[in-house]
Amino acid sequence: MKYGIPRGTKDILPAEAKLWQLVEQACREIFALYDYSEIRTPIFEFTDLFTRSIGSGTDIVKKEMYTFADRKGRSLTLRPEATAAVVRAGIENNLISIESLAKLYYLGPMFRYERPQAGRQRQFHQAGVEVFGSADPRLDAEVIELSVRLFEKVGLKDLVVNLNSVGCPKCQPEFRGAIKKHFAQHISDMCQDCRDRLEQNPMRILDCKEAHCQKYLEKAPASLDYLCPECKNHFDQVVGWLGNLGIKYQVNDRLVRGLDYYTKTAFEVIARQLGAQNAVCGGGRYDNLVAELGGKATPAIGFAIGLERVISLITDHQLPITNEGNIKLFIATLGEAATKQGFALLSQARALGISADMDFLGKSLKAQLKNADRLKAAFVYVMGDEEVKKGSAGLKNMATGEQSEVEFSQLITRLK
């Protein structure tokens, strides 16, 4: 093979594309149901937008971005996530303000340079929502409910909502200090990754998977115990509203989100069957990001769903894939005159909204019928040169096998 596909990318072939359309449609329907409007931002942005918002210390920024210089030497980056771009677009177009609520959703490809594995690609797709303008905990509950309803709609089961609060700039320093203090005494006995994390991002130690480190994690301080009164109150209200909505969740004080901008509520929707990369949805509140990116201080919350992961859950479990017929009419012809006439009828049928096709490979009549069967055509119009003279031909119902004589002029109305 001369040209192969770049690593970490995937062709979505026709059979699977159908499923993608179903999932995307489900997303759009649910988002609309909750009064979210679509926003489409560019695939690339100025690099600074991502380094500022995601955080220069995060892995995404340090080693996972597709960054390149354009012809004028400007540094651009293929978006590794959408939130920063949506915030940028919102500020730039005056969509975001404290006086009004902006509820936006997006759907599209993201890019991160990582080693591919199950549930992780270099180009992957996310659907997500962002709400700007309110710190009301009901919105935290609403977006979580929205994601749960969406998963229900596409038929996914056995998902678990993990919920935590990572605090705000007021309470985070104290918690961070407590973490450092706790692990400092054990760090010499912990894995190399944890040693690095102690300095760089101490909160990440909490979800270390190393068996040897587990015993030190058990007694580690939980962020929930260090929340300031405002954050604590917010978290309690989110929990309360989720209860009212009947949304099941698990408080997970080990849940740490990887992007710097999160405040207060952090949540993930987990599918155990997925393997190591098992989060199908991740999100949370980011009350300071709009201000950090140059807008007026505006609270916000959002989430992103990993569409590849959703798709793989659906295909793994053979969930509802409607497989209706492809076309309504197949025109089978024999001889030059019939082929000419058939091609004209084909065009007429399509013009009137009847999906139709015919043979373009010069195949035998038998092979044409076979092909029509494969295409799941409802009807086949069989015409040879005799029929052209007669002005009528046999219309065969492929389900029953019955064939009746139909004039050319009557064909379309018969199929309508």
Partner RNA sequence: GUGGGUGUAGCUCAACUGGUUAGAGCACCAGAUUGUGGAUCUGGGGGUUGGGAGUUCAAGUCUCCUCACUCACCCCA
Site for RNA in 21-50 (CB under 7 A): none
Among 178, 258, 337, 392, binds RNA (CB under 7 A): 258
Residue pointed to by tokens 């115990």: 225
The response to whether 7 counts as a known ligand-binding position is no
To RNA, the closest distance from the beta carbon of 80 in angstroms equals 8
We find the least distance from the C-beta atom of residue 381 to RNA, in angstroms, to be 10
The token pair at 294 is: 């140059």
Q: Is 265 in the site for RNA (CB under 7 A)?
A: no
CA atoms within 13 A on the CB side of 67: 15
- Within 166-195, the residues that bind RNA by CB under 7 A are 193
**Position among 22, 36, 50, 81 found at the interface with RNA (CB under 7 A):** 81
The smaller minimum CB distance to RNA, of residues 230 and 385, is found at 385
Of the listed pieces 89-97, 244-252, 314-322, 358-366, which binds RNA according to CB under 7 A? Answer: 358-366
The DSSP bridge partners found for residue 279 are: 270
Q: Which of 88, 233, 71, 370 is nearest to 79 (CA)?
A: 88
Cross-strand partners of 330: 357, 380
Nearer to RNA, 93 or 318 (CB): 318
Q: Tokens standing for 339?
A: 């082929």
Site map 373..412 versus RNA, x via CB under 7 A: xx-----x-xxxxxx-----xx-x-xxxx-x---------
Within 269-298, which residues bind RNA (CB under 7 A)? 275-282
Asked whether position 13 contacts RNA by CB under 7 A, the answer is no
Note whether 15 binds RNA by CB under 7 A: no
Name which position in 133, 302, 306, 342 contacts RNA (CB under 7 A): 306
Q: How many CB atoms lie within 10 A of CB 184?
A: 11
Segment near RNA (CB under 7 A), from 139-147, 181-189, 240-248, 371-379? 371-379
Alpha-carbon span 206 to 184, nearest angstrom: 14
User: Is 261 among the annotated ligand-binding positions?
Assistant: yes
- Segment near RNA (CB under 7 A), from 67-75, 145-153, 196-204, 292-300? 196-204
Among 74, 30, 26, 72, which Cα is nearest to 49's? 74
Cα 37 to Cα 99, 141, 294, 310, distances in angstroms: 18, 19, 23, 22
Task: Report the nearest approach of RNA to the CB of residue 7 (Å).
Answer: 4
Q: Report the site for RNA in 94-133 (rule: CB under 7 A).
A: 112, 114-121, 124, 126
Report if residue 204 touches RNA, rule: CB under 7 A.
yes
| DSSP-assigned letter for residue 109 | E
Does residue 341 bind RNA (CB under 7 A)?
no
Separation of alpha carbons 249 and 247, rounded Å: 6
- From the list 354, 292, 252, 287, the residue with the least C-alpha distance to 139 is 287
Show the 3-state SS of 154-199. CCCCCEEEEEEECCCCCCHHHHHHHHHHHHHCCHHHCCHHHHHHHH
Which segments are annotated as binding site for L-histidine? 81-83, 112, 126, 130, 257, 261-262
